[in-house]
Structure 1
């Protein structure tokens, strides 16, 4: 029963995030969250704190305006004080040159009493880097 509640909470949060309400994820974060977005791109991060987490979402929106993060699947396991959640996300956006960006991200969360204390995101950084380079090239024409 507990894991069904966690999956429902995660689904509800991702619906809001996908609609552009990034504060829904920030609100779920512990004040000292550790967030890591793996990769050597403009979005790569290893940060702590809710405000830094909020700023990362601002950077995401700045680099990929109109980005959508759609939840494909979610699994949860563990106890309320140490819940592990894995999600699969579909990431889509329209790049500045009009082409579509589509990627897959895997997220590994650790929740404590319903708050994210760790968030690790893995995305195909080769595809992401190409998209960010396209944006950069158009801006500097």
Structure 2
């Protein structure tokens, strides 16, 4: 029963995040949350704290305006004091030059008593880097 509740919480949060309400993710974090977005791109990060986590979403939105995030699947395991959640996400956007962008991301979360304490995101960084370079090229041309 507990794992079903956690999966429902994650689905509800991702519906809001997918609609552009990034504060929904920030609201479920512990004050000392650690967030890592792996890869050597402008979105790469290893930050701590709610404010830094929120600032990453601001950067994400600037780099990929109008991006859509969709939860594909979610699994949960563990106890309330240490719950592990794995989520598969679909990422899509239309880049500034009109090119469609699509990617898949895997998110590995750790929750403590319903609060997000650790968030690790893995995405195809070659596809992401190419998309961000296209975005930058359009920005430079303007």
In which range does the TM-score fall when normalised by the shorter chain?
over 0.9
**What is the SS of the residue equivalent to 1:127?**
helix
TM-score normalised to structure 2 length? 0.99
Distance 2:123 2:99 in 1: 19
Please name the residue that 2:37 is paired with. Answer: 37
Distance 1:29 1:66 in 2: 24
Distance 1:49 1:32 in 2: 4
Q: 1:78-110 deviations in whole A, cap 9, x for unaligned?
A: 000000000000011110001111000000000
Task: Give the drift of 1:68.
Answer: 1.0
Please name the residue that 1:81 is paired with. Answer: 81
**What is the SS of the residue equivalent to 1:42?**
coil
Please name the residue that 1:125 is paired with. Answer: 125
- Tell me the matched-pair count: 141
The Cα RMSD (Å) is 0.4
**Where does structure 1 differ by over 2 angstroms across 4 or more consecutive aligned residues?**
none
Task: Give the drift of 1:23.
Answer: 0.2
Distance 1:138 1:25 in 2: 30
Distance 2:94 2:62 in 1: 13
Query: How do residues 60-139 of structure 1 correspond to structure 2 at under 5 angstroms?
Result: 60-139=60-139
- Residue segments in structure 2 that go unaligned for 5+ positions in a row: none
Distance 2:10 2:140 in 1: 39
Distance 1:54 1:100 in 2: 26
Please name the residue that 1:56 is paired with. Answer: 56
**What is the SS of the residue equivalent to 2:54?**
helix
